[in-house]
Amino acid sequence: MKALTDLFFDNRFARLGEAFSSEVLPEPIADPQLVLVSTPAMALLDLDPAQAQLPDFVELCAGHKLWSSAEPRAMVYSGHQFGGYNPRLGDGRGLLLGEVLNNAGEHWDLHLKGAGQTPYSRQGDGRAVLRSSIREFLASEHLHALGIPSSRALCVTSSSTRVWRETQECAAMLLRLAPSHVRFGHFEYFYYTKQPEQLKQLGEHVLSCHFPECLAQPEPYLAMFRSIVERTAELIAGWQAYGFCHGVMNTDNMSIMGITFDFGPYAFLDDFDAQYVCNHSDPQGRYSFSNQVPIAHWNLSALAQALTPLINVDHLRETLGLFLPHYQHHYLERMRRRLGFLSADDGDQALLERLLQLMQGSAVDYTNFFRELGDSAPEHALARLRDDFLDLAGFDAWAADYRARSAADGSAQAERQARMRAANPKYILRNYLAQHAITAAEAGDYGPVRELHQVLSQPFDEQPGFERYAQRPPEDGKHLEISCSS
């Protein structure tokens, strides 16, 4: 275990130079207070959890102090936003503080979000508000606990600094960790600004730092692209399996590591609804729940376009073709586990689609349905769940097929139950839960948000005394409109 001051930095991205990022110092927020801290994220940096109690910790996390070997920089990138190309984005309010090399030999980017204005801030104030910082913290740590790749969150600090959104709000900072902060939009920036040398330099950096296993392949860049396609497909399979709606799948929010990245007005489904749009600034539903699959493919095509100077076009096209089968394979694997099946059967896809259609027709709670399906023997569970469906004939037909399929799978009930509990969370980050906790935090009471974070960090465990966090939202807590401003 290390002390805070012992972190070792090896700032590989900063060494790429001025074409890739600009040096900017964090602008501290006033009277910082520690709102949330993630012990498992601290462990990624080999930090003793007790270090979070030191005054230095909150000062480092709120921009008042800086590690002597950190080299804070704002990265430049561009990207396709809602289908249209935006030539210049970049870190408008977050800084890559540097790369920490941990005892296991892993590099972790430290990124301070809400650290003040940069050359890429455009009209923005460079700040993040408490509400959105808490939402990103909760989601990234929860997704990780669900087994879905995500950037991580070390801590959130709040302050007496005020900023304007729709109303006056409290400025906050989030210290984020990720193996890399390179986005699809980084490659797009150098491609569209016609900087082939820099594009190649970025490609070499990403290849050697993040895909070293591809260096031994006959075509390293192609192998790297294939790996990005596969990782993205696996990521989206995780989102779809657990009802996660990202909300703003612009190419500048897509990580080359295939991790969930840049959280905005995201949501986990309450009722199952394939057409659900969580971002109320997306009236066309471009980023609706079910569109996340074709949109990920579209985003990979945008990345492929930017890689044409490095990779043969036919090879890029062929590799893009791997996305959908790879996605389908991983999605079905995850859903088989959720249904409690050990084996694979050709009819599983159709069985699953029928179930989702029934759930959609009756607005059935997506998380609780699967948890309850695994909690007792199929016939008992199905008899209880039946009440939630309007189309009883449809449900009965499905239930008969499910029972037959489960029987053919042939595992003992105790094993089935243990397996299904490990695949079906009891606790999910529902928007109404986040909203209640945020309201308390905004009033200065951090107890509820800390408790919510604790509960969500063990989503598959029964947690006696905390069952209320597994409840469906009250009617007025469904489809909460989450502001895009953050």
How many angstroms separate the CA atoms of 266 and 239, rounded? 11
Strands 84-86 and 79-81: antiparallel
For position 92 contacting ligand AMP by CB under 6 A, the verdict is yes
Dihedrals φ, ψ of 394, to 5°?
-60, -45
Q: Judged by CB under 6 A, does residue 90 bind ligand AMP?
A: yes
Interface segment toward ligand AMP; rule CB under 6 A; list 91-99, 143-151, 198-206, 296-304: 91-99
Of the candidate spans 31-39, 49-57, 97-105, 122-130, the one that interacts with ligand AMP by CB under 6 A turns out to be: 122-130
**3-class state of residue 113 by DSSP:** strand
> Half-sphere exposure of 100 toward its Cβ, with a 13 Å CA cutoff?
25
For residues 7 and 134, which CB has a smaller minimum distance to ligand AMP in the complex?
134
Catalytic residue among 252, 271, 273, 282: 252
In this structure, is the dihedral angle defined by the CA atoms of residues 53, 10, 250 and 257, taken in order, positive or negative?
negative
Residues 59-88 that bind ligand AMP (CB under 6 A): none
Which two tokens mark 328? 């389908």
Give the gyration radius of the chain's Cα atoms.
Answer: 23
Options 93, 336, 430, 479; binder of ligand AMP; rule CB under 6 A: 93
CA distance 109 to 95: 10
Shortest Cβ 250–Mg ion spacing (Å): 7
Segments of 94-191 assigned E as strands:
94-101, 107-113, 128-129, 152-164, 168-178
For the bound state, the minimum distance from the C-beta of residue 130 to ligand AMP, rounded and expressed in Å, comes to: 13
Kindly tell me which of 13 and 261 has the beta carbon lying closer to Mg ion: 261
Whether the Cβ atoms of residue 58 and residue 32 lie closer than 8 Å to each other: yes
Nearest CA to 198 out of 111, 77, 70 is that of: 77
* Residue list 235-264, contact with Mg ion (CB under 5 A): 253, 262
Which of 247, 264, 374, 378 lies at the binding interface for ligand AMP (CB under 6 A)?
Answer: 264
Question: Where does this chain touch ligand AMP (CB under 6 A) — which range of 125-133, 143-151, 346-354, 461-469?
Answer: 125-133
477 exposure class (CB count in 10 Å sphere: 0-12, 13-18, 19+): middle
Nearer to ligand AMP, 86 or 357 (CB): 86
Within 196-215, which residues bind ligand AMP (CB under 6 A)?
A: none
Residue at shortest CB range from ligand AMP: 124
To ligand AMP, the closest distance from the beta carbon of 181 in angstroms equals: 12
Residue 32: both structure tokens together? 């910082």
Distance CA 232, CA 213 (A): 18
| Site residues (CB under 6 A) for ligand AMP, limited to 169-198 | none
Please report whether residue 127 would count as binding ligand AMP according to CB under 6 A.
yes
121 binds, among Mg ion, ligand AMP, none (CB under 5 to 8 A by kind): ligand AMP
Name which position in 17, 124, 212, 325 contacts ligand AMP (CB under 6 A). 124
Between 86 and 413, CB nearer to Mg ion:
86
Q: Which does 169 bind (CB under 5 to 8 A by kind): Mg ion, ligand AMP, none?
A: none
Residue (247 or 378) nearer to ligand AMP, CB? 247
Q: Which does residue 170 touch among Mg ion, ligand AMP, none (CB within 5 to 8 A, set by kind)?
A: none
Residues 227-256 that bind ligand AMP (CB under 6 A): 248, 253
Whether 270 is catalytic: no
- Quick check: 125 binds ligand AMP (CB under 6 A)? yes
C-alpha separations of 155 from 92, 135, 193, 231, 240 in Å: 20, 12, 36, 27, 27
Widest distance between CA atoms in the chain: 68
Contact (CB, 8 A) for 84 and 54: no
- Indicate whether 262 belongs to the interface with ligand AMP (CB under 6 A): yes
Does an H or E element contain 148, and which?
none
**φ and ψ at residue 206, rounded to 5 degrees:** -65, -40
Shortest distance (Å) from residue 307 CB to ligand AMP? 22
Least Cα distance to 181 among 212, 200, 205 occurs for: 205
Catalytic residues: 252
| Interacting residue ranges for ligand AMP, rule: CB under 6 A | 89-93, 120-121, 124-127, 248, 253, 262, 264
| Interacting residue ranges for Mg ion, rule: CB under 5 A | 253, 262
